[in-house]
Structure 1
């Protein structure tokens, strides 16, 4: 049975009359990627701050790496790494010097060897002796994560690790995250990109107004939201008219000569639609099956469309 890297029960936090977290419960399995999603003001940052011992909870119990965050703060901090949205680098130092500084602060045994290994691991060897101020956005994010790994933390909190990165750099970071998990590290991810959560996460929780409104694997969450449909496109308006008449519940788009037909998306329901068209000698030039994605889940569960703004 998989052990829990993080266990949260009845977590509550309020600021005056404003309740930010209203008794939430969740667990994070060791060696997994766990994502927390939610609109602005949902309580995600407050949750992370409590787990990282930066903020005290008003009620509830929180255990991180087996330690109580309230009574074993030192042990928790020794077990975690935190990478914020903005790279915490000293631009006046080189990449190597930034890593060496972190190794010195953490009193890492064989610090020079650790620094060299991390530079190689993150493909920063050629730029190691250049000022961090000259690094691209992707290089800065990689160096920042490398600095987090100096102390070999069991659990890493990643706050929007790919914000502002180009698609190639984003995928590079995804590969790094996967490698970390393969090697046993637990990742707690907050992200504004729902495709990123879908791509990386073993489990997702959705937080809204201080409450957990859903949790599960990405595919489980997507199955909870209706909206699977078949999209058909026709050659002319006559075929579209006939198809709209014989397929109940369909929604038409005259400009695109397309029809959206609700369905389960499985082979049986798709065959029934195509057989119905054949009965009336109608040919669909194109058809495709569309299923809900995490954007649909986010909107359905929180009442807010996902944005590219900072979702805290």
Structure 2
């Protein structure tokens, strides 16, 4: 059965002064998907989210959300979405419970008390529910803000780096709620700086780079299409580490100075790895360990963004 598009974007453009932030963005999101948008810092992810949620106007292009034209029917779009931005948007002069209750009333939620209590418990806020939010820690405010996004029946929930700053327990709670919400038929549009989060949650992943979407597919299709391997190489000293990093600068994926480890792309053929190790034997360094593995979504992202497509 063909899935229904809930977000459709055609040739979206946005410029700030001399900088073209978005330069012809095209993609669709299907109902019930967890759609994850990736991109380096400054790539325009938050700008795109702000435009899709009617906070910022766009310069050119067309956008439909749940069948509504974003430019002509922005009020209808707002009725169909919720947003958790990068900074908590909660009322400091209300308690956590009052913040949640207010949103539940605005969204005409049935069984308000039950919904609010359930979410407070899910995000470990129940014992602080009667405390004024101005006395919450940054992490507690973040958890409250995320919980508020799931109140009611928004058709699309926009989450802009929602788990940044959360402890592991609450990151996992957020992941579980995202999965459950999508299973129930609602759509999650998520940006994140955690590649493992994208790999775990996403039905579809898109990469925004230099103003355009350079990749848009399921995590598995991406890994199959860009099938490659990586090798982590450990050396004995910091001097060895710096020399190895400089020698492999053109193919670096990541470096860990503390562990004296460098990770690089290698080809799929076994001979490619053997050739690399033979090449490194010629350097005046001591290799203590090496480990080869299939490329992760993080490896592919770094390769595409650092090296282009």
TM range (shorter): 0.7 to 0.9
* 2:12 and 2:61 in contact (8 A); partners too: yes
Aligned to 1:302: 305
TM-score by structure 2 length?
Answer: 0.74
Match for residue 291 of structure 1 among 288, 291, 294: 294
Closer/same/farther in 2, CA of residues 232 and 99 from structure 1, 3 Å limit: closer
Taking the aligned partners of 1:109 and 1:226, their CA distance within structure 2 comes to 48
What are the residue-to-residue correspondences of 1:261-280 with 2, within 5 Å?
262=266, 264=268
Tell me the CA shift for residue 137 of structure 1. Answer: 5.2
Q: Is the 8 A contact 2:123 2:170 kept in 1?
A: no
C-alpha separation between the residues in 2 aligned to 1:16 and 1:91?
35
SS of the equivalent of 2:130 reads coil
Give 3-state SS (helix, strand or coil) of 2:196's partner: helix
SS across alignment from 2:223: helix
Deviations 1:36-69 (A, max 9, x none): 1111221212211121111222221100111110
For residue 140 of structure 1, report the CA deviation from its aligned partner: 3.3
2:205 matches 1:208: no
Q: Secondary structure at the match of 2:28?
A: strand
Structure 1: stretches of 5+ with no match in the other structure? 234-255, 274-285, 305-312
Please report how far the alpha carbon of residue 213 of structure 1 lies from its aligned counterpart in structure 2 after TM superposition: 1.3
TM-score normalised by the chain length of structure 1:
0.74
- Look up the match of 1:38: 39
Q: Structure 2 unaligned runs (5+)?
A: 235-259, 275-288
Q: CA deviation at 1:116?
A: 3.7
Secondary structure of the residue aligned to 1:42 is: coil
Distance 2:225 2:180 in 1: 30
Distance in structure 1 (CA, Å) of the matches to 2:117 and 2:233: 56
Q: Which residue of 2 aligns with 1:173?
A: 174
- Compared with structure 1, are the counterparts of its residues 19 and 232 closer, same or farther at alpha carbon in structure 2 (3 Å cutoff)? closer
Shift of 1:287: 8.9
SS at match of 1:205: strand
Determine helix, strand or coil for the equivalent of 2:14: strand
CA 1:229/1:45 → structure 2, altered by over 3 Å: closer, same or farther?
closer
Q: Over alpha carbons, which structure has the higher Rg?
A: 1
Q: Distance in 1 between matches of 2:184 and 2:158?
A: 16
Q: CA deviation at 1:87?
A: 2.1
Residue in 2 that maps onto 1:64:
65
How many residues align? The count is 266
Quote the RMSD (CA, aligned, Å): 3.2
The answer to whether the 8 Å contact 2:84/2:160 transfers is: yes
Q: Render the CA deviation track for 1:124-169: whole Å, top value 9, x for unaligned.
A: 4443323334555554333212222333201000011111122222
Query: 1:22 & 1:174 partners in 2: Cα distance?
Result: 31
Contact preservation (8 Å) 1:230, 1:263:
no
Q: How does 1:1-312 map to 2 (within 5 A)?
A: 1-108=2-109, 111-120=112-121, 122=123, 124-135=125-136, 139-225=140-226, 227-228=228-229, 262=266, 264=268, 289-303=292-306
